Amino acid sequence: MIKVGIIGVGTVGTSVAEILRDNADVISARAGVDIIVKSGVVKNLNKDRGLDILITDNVDDILNDPEIDIVVELMGGVDEPFKVVKRALESGKAVVTANKALLAYHRYELQEIAKDIAFEYEAAVAGGIPIISGLRDGLSANHIESIMGIMNGTCNYMMTKMEQEGVAYADILQVAQDLGYAEADPTFDVGGFDAAHKLLILASIAYGIDAKPEDILIEGIDNVSQDDISFAKEFGYAVKLLGIAKKDGDEVELRVHACLIKQEEMIAKIDGVMNAISVVGDKVGETLFLWSWCWWRCYCICCCCKHH
């Protein structure tokens, strides 16, 4: 039996615990071992999470518990999660995190600390898309020529509405906030920083580089107007916020910004809150990893869009 401690039992943390509980039979069958959540850390002990696990507000209750085999870090932020994950790895506990900001700044350092201890972060980039395992395993025999993707569903939803319905930026931002796609302070999404963190994680795997957000070009969609959208559409282009990594000799180009894409291109057809990442390998050609999410369901499709 493997016992899990979740640090940060918010919306995502609660869902993780529910999945491990509700799908325990299929998870055990596939993993070959029972995986149960023993305890979780929260900020507010008075809020009912509907979970039959030990709830505490002290991370030491998990980090110092010898029965906890895996720590799931879902705190958010950078500095405090770094300390927590570092302690967990140093104590010999495996770690799973979805914290893209933490990884954008400290992945290499934490990987060095982990050594042979499992340190996994598939959910940190594009939700349900298996893009990290795709790069590390599925495309491991390829030199990666480029990565280009829609890595922020909030921005893609807003750009789609602006293009298809002629909605002004300020109006669709308010709608996105009302729907819960965008935060009250949407800067992290619309400013391109969320996409940049994800791009840096992918680039570090594909190219072995340790770049930081401050090292690359980051522009969001907050200056994209309805006039820009209409002009692009008139000439057969769509506007998408893309994260782009491209090999150029011995150098790697990294950038996040709104791009003009020909409407017939596959990536231009990705609408709404969907994410999609195109990876070009020197042997496999182009592969497109696609994910859609809503409040009720998600699905993942992987396809070779040039060779099949």
**Side-chain half-sphere of 71: how many Cα atoms within 13 Å?**
32
Q: Report residue 229's pLDDT band, with 50, 70 and 90 as the boundaries.
A: very high
CA distances from 71 to 28, 106, 133, 148, 189 (A): 18, 17, 20, 31, 27
Both 43 and 100 in one domain: the answer is: yes
Q: Which helix (H) or strand (E) holds 165?
A: helix 153-165
Residue predicted with more confidence, 219 or 181: 219
What local confidence, expressed as pLDDT, does residue 291 receive?
A: 66
Residue 31 sits in a domain of what CATH number? 3.40.50.720
Q: Global pTM?
A: 0.85
Both 113 and 139 in one domain: the answer is: no
- Which pLDDT tens digit goes with each residue over 269-304? 999 988 999 999 999 999 988 865 433 333 333 343
- What's the domain range around 115? 2-124
d(CA 197, CA 188): 10
Both 142 and 278 in one domain: the answer is: yes
- Which pLDDT tens digit goes with each residue over 19-31? 999 999 999 999 9
Both 89 and 222 in one domain: the answer is: no
Both 288 and 139 in one domain: the answer is: yes
Mean pLDDT across 133-157: 93
Mean pLDDT across 87-108: 95
Average pLDDT, the chain: 90
d(CA 272, CA 240): 11
Return the residue matching tokens 């042997």.
Answer: 283
Comparing C-alpha atoms, which of 87, 90, 71, 83 is closest to residue 7? 71
Both 158 and 82 in one domain: the answer is: no
Both 29 and 51 in one domain: the answer is: yes
Q: Among residues 107, 124, 141, which one ends one of the domains?
A: 124
* CB burial of residue 214 (10 Å; 0-12, 13-18, 19+): exposed
Q: Among residues 71, 92, 124, which one ends one of the domains?
A: 124
Q: Which helix (H) or strand (E) holds 176?
A: helix 169-179
Mean pLDDT across 17-46: 94
Both 161 and 292 in one domain: the answer is: yes
Does 247 reside within a domain? Answer: yes
Both 20 and 100 in one domain: the answer is: yes
Q: Among residues 66, 89, 124, which one ends one of the domains?
A: 124
Residue 306 has pLDDT above 90, yes or no: no
Both 159 and 55 in one domain: the answer is: no
Both 60 and 152 in one domain: the answer is: no
Which of the residue ranges 33-37, 157-161, 286-290 would you say has the lowest mean pLDDT? Answer: 286-290
Does 271 reside within a domain? Answer: yes
Name the domain count of the chain. 2
177-204 burial: b if 16+ Cβ within 10 Å, else e: eeeebbeeebebbbbbbbbbbbbbbbbb
β-partners of residue 224 are: none
Under 8 Å between Cβ of 293 and 154: no
Catalytic residues: 198
What local confidence, expressed as pLDDT, does residue 301 receive?
A: 38
Residue 224 sits in a domain of what CATH number? 3.30.360.10
